[in-house]
Every structure is written in C-alpha cells, then in structure tokens.
Structure 1
Amino acid sequence: MTVVTVKENAVSLEQRITNLVNGMEKLDDIVDRYPGPGFTDGLYGEKGAPLKAKIVREDALAMAREGRNLRVGIIGRVKAGKSSLLNALMFAGNDVLPKAATPMTASLTILRYTDQDMPYAEVEYFRPEDVNDMRQLAEEYDSRFTVLLAERQKAAEERAARPGARNVSQPDPERLSASVKRELDTDPRLGGAKDMYARICDAGGLGDKGGKTERVDGRDLADLQGKLANYVGSGGRLTPFTKCLTLYLPIPSLQGVDVVDTPGVNDPVRSREERTMEELHNCDVVFVVSPAGQFLNRQDLDLMGRLTYKDGVREVFLVASQVDGQLFGSERDKHDGRLPDVLQGLRSTLATQASNTLAAENATNQGLDTLKSQLAERLVVTSSVAHALLTQPETEWDDTVRHVWSLLRSGYPAEFT
C-alpha cells in the first residue's frame, strides 16, 4: 500500500467518522424539538467529550506507518446481533458475514481487505488434538449426567417416601433425564463439546482434513457466500470441522481495517479459545454487543472477561442492540408514547443498568476502566431492523422487519405513518 493510498484511506476514515458525529448531533437537534425532562444531555449523553475525527485520522496514520491495520474486535453471545451490526456498518446492510445458527456452529471469523478482483476465504479445520479435547469433555458430560441423574432420582424418591407426603408420585425417569440434559446442554464448555464431538462423529470424523487450511474462491461475493454455507452453515457438510474462517473481500470499507468476529460462547475448543484471546489482545478497539432486552447478562460478562487476558485493548464500547424490541413496554407507557422521550428514557435505563453491573465486576484493564468511567459516551443503542427499514425496499423486508414496522405504526403513529 503506497503512502498516497494510506493517506487517502485515513482521510476517508476521517470523513466517515465526521459523518457519524454529524448524524449524532442531528439526532440531538431532533430530540431538542421535543421539550421535556431528561433531555438536557442530548440523545447520546454528555456533550463534553465529543468524538474527534482528527484523532482517529492521526491514529490511523500512525498505524499505517507501523505497517499494520486498525484492528476491530466484536464480542457478544450468539443472536446478539453482531453480524447484523457489522453488515450494517461495513457493508450497507448486505448479509456479508455468515450468521451462526447455533452457539456450536459459531466460528472465529476474521475479515480483511484484498486488492484482488474476486473475494476468497481461508478455512482452517480442527486438528486431531482439538477433537481429542472435545472427546474428553464429552466423556466428562456423560459422567456428570450419570451422577446428576442419580442424585435427582434419589432426591425425588426421598420426597415421595416422607411421612405425610400427599399426592407425590414416583419420579418419572424420562422427565428427570430430560431436565438434567437441558441443564448440561446450556453449559458452553460441556454442552458445546458434547454437541461438536457428536457432529464430527456423525460426519465420519476428520479424516485427512485435520489441521489443514483450504482456500475457497468465489466469482463474486454472492458466489462466495453460497460456497461458504457448506463450511459454516447450520447444515453444511463441512461445518462440524471448521475451526476458523478468514474472509478476504475487495470492499473499500475494509481497507486499512481488520475485523475480528469472535464465537459467541466460551469456546470448548482450547486451541480456538487461545487463538481468539490472541486476536482480541491484538485489537485496538472492541465492541461488546448485548441485546437491549437481556442486557449484560452473565454470559456477556464472562465474554468481557476475555478482555482481561492482557492489557492490550485500549478502547472498549458497549452496544445495546435490537433496541426496537424495547419500544413497546413500560418505557412507552411512562412517556405517553413520545418516541424521543422513550428513546432517551430507554438509553438512561440501560446506562444505569450497565453502570451498576460493571461496578460489581472485578475484571479490569485499561479498556474496561475507560468504559466504566466514560459510559455516557461509550454506550451505543442500535437497531438493525431500523437500518433495514431505512435502506431496503419494502419488497425485500423479511417477516421480522414487517412485524416491527407494524408495531411502530400502531405504537407511534405520529412518527410512522
């Protein structure tokens, strides 16, 4: 990459950041038209520390002089909206990133720019030692299942045998078994390994693919996406063997930027978890994505614990995604259906919840400390459905978008007629 190209990319990045800031200020202006309590700080919090596009440009130029890209990490549980957020920010809402159908099919995905005319991907398969780790954890799952089932069976029998016990039937073995299985399946470590190992066994084992990296070429982005369904799709033939995926895309918005999209669970595969930790450690900024309806639950906090691996992550931002789903409950009633007031109230509620939750956590590093102290500036509220409503023709809306549009029209007729 030439010096001229680097400068052009830095200027382009500066312009995108400037546009973002201008858009935020424009939203503040809109909100100011609706007088009422709670609006003194503007829609995006305190205005005392505005985002500086010049600083972003200087940092980008400094990284270019070091010969490296700006590295952006995304963490969050499965179905948190990570892929939708990235697709909206980087790819004009197009579904470029593969979406994990289940926690166990989520792979570490890295996006990079290529100056080649056609996109391609590198698929890294699990190694034999990875499968052995899964097997050991699957055996631990089975042992734990046997112990828990016996304990529950004994406890149920003792309750039924107590003197004076009435209408207590003998325990149903099938119901007890299903209950124990549900409990273990929700454990990302044991349940994840059990599921992944079973998938690999059902697919006939690794065979000669173990530890190899395969290149997948596409004529264009759509062609590549179609081929990748075989490697990361929920029903893909090679999905059980895929460990990591690196996408090389000739998309200008990726110039000078690497994006690291991490698996949505604490990974049962030790080597991939170590690789994820290494990738996150090398990130300059990390976005923590959490659904507004189940904001900052235990799984989110466990994922954020990855950031304490080392102190390399300097900048952390918190994204409350899928906010459109929270516009029709108590906040709407509290503010009599005034949309700007509802948005402001919802954001204040989420900020308070995040502040209380993070204050109770002992995990710390430079990035998390800055997030805690500057939460008003670093909490972002998003809606990929709103982005789809804005950018997609109505003929392309899916059922979710149509449903939200119907709710908005009935819940906020002044804004959505």
Structure 2
Amino acid sequence: MSENNRRELIRIAEDMNGVSNDETRQFISRIVGDLSNLKPSIAFVGQIKAGKSRLINGFTGQAEYLPSDVNPWTTVITDMHFGHPSGRTQGAEFHFFDNRQWQALIAEGEELRNMFPDDEDSYKREMIEEQVDAMKTRAQLRLGDSYEQLLGQHHDLEHLNSDDLARYVCAGDDPTDSEEYDPGSDRGLYSDITRKAEVYFDIGHFPFPLTVTDTPGVNDPLLIREEISRQYLKESDFFVVVLSAHQALSRADLKLFRLMQALELGQIVVFINRVDELGGGAEDARKVRTDVLDGLEKALGNSDIDVLMGSAQWAHYALTGDDTGVNHDHVLAWLRAHPEQMKQYLDGVEEIKQGPGPISREGVLRFAAMIASGLPDLRRHVTHALTQGPRDEQLKMAWQHLNSFAQGELERSKAHLRVIDDKNSADMTDGDENDKTLAELRALVSQKTTQIIDDMDDVLANLRGVMDDTVSEAVSAVVRGPNGDSPLLAKGGDTELNFSPLRDRMRELVQGATQVVRQRMLSELYAVDMNSNAALRALPGWQDPADSRMNTSAVRWFRPDTTALTRGITVELRVSWLSRLISRKSVVARAERMIVQEFEMIGDDLVDTARADLLERLNTVLDHYLALLAGHLEQRVGTGQTNVRAEAQAAFDQAQRVADDLDAVFGGNSADKKLAEAAE
C-alpha cells in the first residue's frame, strides 16, 4: 500500500470519527494516531571512515549536509526526518546530556546497569569514565558559565545550515590543547554535551515519511561512541551496514554482524562503499563482494543478506558537480560491467532528451555517476523492503479495523431505513435490553482476558526456566571447551567465544513458546466471538451484521521481537583483558558466571518484550471488538420526529460513501484486498 493509501486512510478515519459513538471514536482515534506516526527508520551503521556520512548525503539527496571530513563526530546520533508527522520540514533540535544520562553511559547503558557487583568490569568502565570526564572538561572550557544551565536542555533552531550543524555535532579543536585551540572558533561549541540531533526535511524523493540515522562508528576508539551505536540498534526498523571496499568484512565488521544476527535478515542490507578506489574496478569489486558473501555465510550460517556495491564519491559528484578524484572513464566502465545499471542510464538519457531543455555533457556525466554510485538501487531496495514489511502490515490492519466499523455502520443504517419504511417498531430491539446485553458481553470479555493473561504468564514462566537451564548448559560447554580445554586459556589462539548456537536456540525457544500463547489466545478469542454472537442473536429482531466476526489479525500476525539477541556479550568481546585482571585459575569459572548472567538478562528481556507485545495486540483485538459491539447495539431510531426518514437516509448515504472510499483504497487490487480480508 502506498503513501497515498496511508493518507487516504487517515482522511477516512477522521471522517468516521465525526459520526461514531464514543467507544468507537476512541478506537478510531488510536488508528489515526498510529497511521499519522507511521514513520520507518533506517540506520546506517559500520566502522568509522567507511564513508557513512557521505553515503547518507547521497542516499537522501542532501549533497554536503552531513560533514564527512576526517573525524567530525563526537558522541552524536543524528536523525534526519523526511516528512515528519508533525509537518515540520526545516530546522533542527539538539538534545543535551544531563548528569543522569552521562552516568548511564558510564554504566554501559541500561542493559549493563548493575551487571557486575564488583570491580571485574573496571577496565572498560574506567576508560568510559575518563572519556566522559574529558567531555565535561572540554564543554566547561568552551561554554563557561552557561555549561550547567544547558545540561538536560535542548536547542530548537527554526532554520539550519552547515555551520549551525558543525557547532553541535562536529568535534572542532580541543580546548585543552592551547597550541591548537582557537578560542574565536565556534565549531564544536556544543558538541561535547550534544546527545542527539534531529534534523527536519520535506519528504523529498522518498515514497513515504521515514527517518535516516547516522550513527557513530562501531570500532571508534572512543568507547562512548561505540556504546551509543550498540544501544541504538534496537531503535531502528532497517539497517544499512556500510563496508569499505578496501577492508570489507574485517574483524570489527564481523563483530557488528554478530551483534545484529538475531534480527530478521530482511531488515539488513550490506553496502560496499568506495568501489571507485579499487585499482581493478568492477573485477576487483566482484571479488570483494564474493568474499563478503562467503564471510557472512561462515559467520552467520546464512547468505541471504543482500550485498550492494557503489561509491558515495560518485554520488557526491552527481549532486554537487565537484569531480575532484572522479575518473569518468571508471564510471562508464562500471556501467558497462553492470548491464542493469547501464539500462537505467540509457533509459534515463532518453528521458532527458525528451525534456524541454538542451542536454549538456556535464549533466549526462553526472547522471551516469549517480546511477553507477549504486544509491538509486539502495533507495529502491530499502523502500521496497519497508513497504513489503511491517509498514504494509500495519496499513492492512488499519484498513481491516476501519472496514469492519464501516460495514457495521452500513448494515445498521440500512436496517434503520428498513424499520422506518416498514413502520414496524417490533423490529426494533429494546434499548434497556441492548444495554444489559452489552454489559454482559463486556463482563465476558473481561473474564476471558484475565484467563488468557494468566495462561500466557504460565507459559512464559516455564519459558524462563527452560531458557535459564539452556543458557547455563550452553555457556558452560563453550567456556570450558571440549574435554575441559577452555579456549580462554589457550596460548596465542583465538580467544573469542562462539555463542551463535546459543542465540539460535534462545530464538527458537521464544518463538516456540509465543506460538503456543498465540494459538491459545486465538482459540479463546474464537470462543468469545461465538458466545457474543449467540447473545446477540437472542435479542428480539436481531439481524446479523456483515462484520460480525472478531478481527484477530493483530494476534494472528504476531511474531516475537528477538532484537535483544543482538546485544554483544561484554566478556565475549573483551576476553583478552580478562585474563590480565583475574588469575588464570579462576578465569574460566568467573567468565562462565559473568556470561551466564548476561545471557540470562537477555533471556529476561526476550520474555518481557514478548509478553508486552502480546498483551498490546490482545488489547487491540478486544478494544476493537467491544467498540464494534457498542456500535451494533447503539439505538439510532427515534420517535416523534418528522425528519427521521431524511436523517436515516443521510446516515445511510454517509456510511455508503465511507465504505466505498475504503474499498477504493486498494485501487482495484483485489489480491491485496482478499489478503487483508482473509487475515481477519
């Protein structure tokens, strides 16, 4: 479903709100809010100096917006909002750290808080403490008396230029270096206290609103930056992992993929940047791509991740005309080596020729560079994946709910007209009887909800126990090694511990348990639906509406969120220093205990997230159903009014228009419509 579908659904829902009862209006308002805030996010992640910022500039079409010189960033996450739900299309907000947030960084984020009861994590913690202290010192020197007042605040700039951005997110000169620091420069003025930047644009060339995020490098020597990147992984819907063609799939890259391995692979695409710098051109690039695919297969056991190639430098030239370092022969050679891109180029040139103006050689060369850069292919890949994924699911669910309300209103207004035309008041059910029935059905739903939740908690409690046993057994086997030969004590060997099988098993456990919960929920919801329909049919003169079925798609489409498994294990990533802190005798036992604790926390997060998501979806189904029942039982026929027929006809006409508008949202795509209806 397209962006036009989303906007049309919002318009229809707002129209429906104007004529709905209070209970239905509350549910429809929630649908409007969800649709209005439907804004997928795409995070660009990778090593420092992989070219992420320049690549994002090309991806978004913003040319030189994000600084891309050497070491421009501090600890800043930068969100670029395109078509933000607020309607804002320019300016920026910069959010500043407060002491509590700095302390959270020192504690290595919420997931690692209170993980170690003693000083065993002092190595990394002390480094972060030193870095945070250095940030505070630099900020105090730059900001003077205003430093304390700015903590925890934010700046909102109505308009923004690159100089403004540099004040908040670029490192600038170090004020503690008296020889290098220029007190008159404001570059980096607020950088050390800036926690996050949010920049606003119109929707641009994207087909729907989205957020593009630039993250610090995952192998940044400043551990704070790496920690922020790791924590931000769970905030995005889609990831572009940027690799450098010179050093594709290095050790740091593989660590990043291991952190992300629990994500659905359809949410990740790899982009190999800087192919323009390869001496052998397209032939070398093919070899690099083959090596990356082989490396992913070995590291993750899955080669389904799409790997694209291109050059942010070529995109930069295409957008700005700055051809510094660009070899036009290499661009054309790249196109000749990639027939699909060559076709895009030739088709585009033909389209340009049909335009009103003359064709310039410069314009054609820049167009060729943009196609060869791979950025148009990357945009298509990302937007297609987002369109076919959770975004499309949410739009279809919204359509289903709105359509069930609309069909119910249409049936009620039709029955109202029939009663009036027949002048047969016996066909009308008694209002008191309706109220009593609705109260009884609400009590039934409340009782069943309690039973469903209790049953879910029993299943998830069992899952926690099985998960803990699995973690203890698997961690012991990995840390102690085969035949008791722990890899931690190997001399000169690879001391990284492989917990991929454990992560896979934990994913299988949570998927299996939630599948049981989901099926039991659906069974109980079916029973509620059957009992409710029986109670409604017992009412005098009751006629079944067309939308009498409960819409259980929110529960039926549930899939557990396993992003907690993307978290790295602290000991897994720092075994090399562990043996320097702890005697060799106790290193295995202590490492095992620490790793078990971390995986148990991950298991708790998996279960807690699954419970919260299932409960939210259960409430969505039941809230919608109760609103539907209230609409069915609402009395609309009045007496003693001379214009009752006209009002009833107007209500029917309005209901028919809404139903027709919703039907038109699919634009005649009967396959999509049947799929959405079948999922109810």
Q: Work out the CA distance in 2 between the residues paired with 1:191 and 1:349.
A: 42
Say yes or no: does 1:80 pair with 2:50: yes
Equivalent AA in structure 2 for residue 346 of structure 1: D
Check the 8 A contact 2:72/2:169 in 1, yes or no. no
Q: 1:8 to 1:374 in 2, by over 3 A?
A: farther
- Find the residue that maps to 1:208 and give its secondary structure: helix
Which residue type is aligned with residue 58 of structure 2? A
Q: What is the rounded CA distance, in whole Å, between the counterparts of 2:265 and 2:129 in structure 1?
A: 29
Question: Which whole-Å CA distance do the structure 2 matches of 1:133 and 1:269 have between them?
Answer: 13
- Contact kept, 8 Å, 1:118 with 1:217, in 2: the verdict is no
Q: In structure 1, what is the equivalent of residue 245 of structure 2?
A: 292
Aligned to 2:303: 373
Q: Could you tell me how far 1:207 is from its partner in structure 2? A: 1.3
Alignment of 1:14-413 (within 5 A): 67-91=37-61, 94-99=63-68, 101-102=70-71, 105-112=74-81, 113-114=83-84, 116=87, 119-132=90-103, 193=132, 196-203=135-142, 206-218=147-159, 223-235=160-172, 236-253=188-205, 255-265=208-218, 276-277=229-230, 279-308=232-261, 311=263, 314-326=266-278, 328=279, 332=280, 342-343=281-282, 345-361=283-299, 372-375=302-305, 378-393=306-321, 397=322, 401-405=323-327, 408=330
> Matched residue of 1:402: which SS?
coil
Is contact 1:108-1:244 (8 Å) kept?
A: yes
Instruction: Indicate conservation of the 8 Å contact 2:57/2:65, yes or no.
Output: yes
* Amino acid in the other structure paired with 2:285: R
- Contact 1:100–1:232 under 8 Å retained in 2: no
**In the superposition, relative to structure 1, how do residues 274 and 135 fare at CA in structure 2: closer, same or farther (>3 Å)?**
closer
> 1:322–1:383: 8 Å Cα contact kept in structure 2?
yes
User: How far 1:193 moved relative to its partner?
Assistant: 4.8
**Amino acid in the other structure paired with 2:152:** G
CA contact (8 A) 1:123 1:246 kept: yes
Q: Is the 8 A contact 2:241 2:270 kept in 1?
A: yes
Which whole-Å deviations, capped at 9, do the CAs of 1:64-109 have from their partners, x for residues lacking one?
Answer: 8595222212101222111212211221x51223447427525111
Q: Distance in 2 between matches of 1:3 and 1:386?
A: 30
Q: In 2, distance between residues paired with 1:360 and 1:197?
A: 43
Q: What amino acid does structure 1 have at the position aligned with 2:78?
A: T
SS at match of 1:403: coil
Q: Shift of the alpha carbon at 1:263?
A: 1.4
Cα drift, residue 124 of structure 1: 1.1
| TM-score for both structures, normalised by structure 1 | 0.54
2:45–2:52 CA contact under 8 A, matched in 1: yes
State the AA in 2 paired with 1:199: R
Match of 2:6 in 1: 6
Cα 1:298/1:134, change in 2 over 3 Å: same
Query: Could you tell me whether the CA contact under 8 Å between 1:231 and 1:237 is conserved in 2?
Result: yes
Deviation digits for residues 173-195 of structure 1, max 9, x if unmatched?
xxxxxxxxxxx9xx996885575
For the structure 1 residues 266 and 389, does the alpha-carbon distance in structure 2 shift closer, same or farther, using more than 3 Å as the test? closer
CA, structure 1 residues 226+78, in 2 after alignment: closer, same or farther (shift >3 Å)?
Answer: same
Distance change (3 Å), C-alpha of 1:192 and 1:82: farther
Give the partner amino acid of 1:212: Q
Identity over aligned pairs, percent: 21
Distance in 1 (alpha carbons) for counterparts of 2:253 and 2:127: 13
Contact persistence 1:281–1:313 (CA under 8 A): no
User: Judging changes above 3 Å, is the alpha-carbon distance between structure 1 residues 97 and 402 closer, same or farther for their aligned structure 2 residues?
Assistant: closer
Q: Which residue of 2 aligns with 1:42?
A: none
Conservation of the 8 A alpha-carbon contact between 1:131 and 1:197: no
Equivalent residues of 2:41, 2:211 under 8 A apart? yes
- Whether the aligned pair in 2 keeps the contact of 1:260 and 1:280 (CA below 8 Å) is no
Displacement of 1:304 in angstroms is 3.2
Instruction: Note closer, same or farther for the CA distance 1:319–1:192 as it changes in structure 2 (3 Å cut).
Output: farther
Q: Identify the residue that residue 44 of structure 1 maps to in structure 2.
A: none
Residues in 1 aligned to 2:63 and 2:197: alpha-carbon distance in whole angstroms: 19
Q: Distance in 2 between matches of 1:302 and 1:194?
A: 28
- Answer whether contact 1:88 1:94 (CA < 8 A) is retained: yes
In structure 2, distance between residues paired with 1:302 and 1:119: 37
SS at match of 2:246: helix
Judge conservation of contact 1:281–1:307 (CA < 8 Å) in 2. no
Separation in structure 1 between the aligned mates of residue 107 and residue 291 of structure 2, nearest angstrom:
39
2:171 match: secondary structure: coil
Gap change, CA 1:66 and 1:281, over 3 Å in 2 = farther
Counterpart in 2 of 1:15? none
TM-score by length of 2: 0.35
- Distance in 2, Cα, partners of 1:209 & 1:68: 32
What are structure 2's unaligned runs of at least 5 residues?
Answer: 10-32, 109-122, 173-187, 338-364, 366-680
Shift of 1:289: 0.3
Q: State the distance in 1 between where 2:158 and 2:38 align.
A: 25
Q: 1:109-147: per-residue Cα shift (whole Å, max 9, x none)?
A: 11213465751211111121344577899xxxxxxxxxx
Partners of 2:324 and 2:8 lie apart in 1 by 40
Residues in 1 aligned to 2:264 and 2:127: alpha-carbon distance in whole angstroms: 26
More helix by share: 2
Aligned-residue offset at 1:244: 0.8
Aligned equivalents of 2:205, 2:137: Cα separation in 1 = 39
Q: Distance in 1 between matches of 2:209 and 2:138?
A: 37
- In 1, Cα distance between equivalents of 2:251 and 2:128: 15
Are residues 133 and 103 of structure 1, via their aligned partners in 2, closer, same or farther at CA, if it must alter by over 3 Å? farther
Letter in 1 for 2:324: R
Equivalent residue letter for 1:72: I
Q: Measure how far apart 1:318 and its partner are.
A: 0.9
**Larger Rg, first or second structure (1 or 2):** 2
Q: Any unmatched runs of 5+ in structure 1?
A: 10-62, 138-183, 333-341
CA distance in structure 2 between the aligned counterparts of 1:194 and 1:302, rounded to whole angstroms: 28
- RMSD of equivalent CA atoms: 4.3
**2: CA distance between counterparts of 1:278 and 1:132?**
15
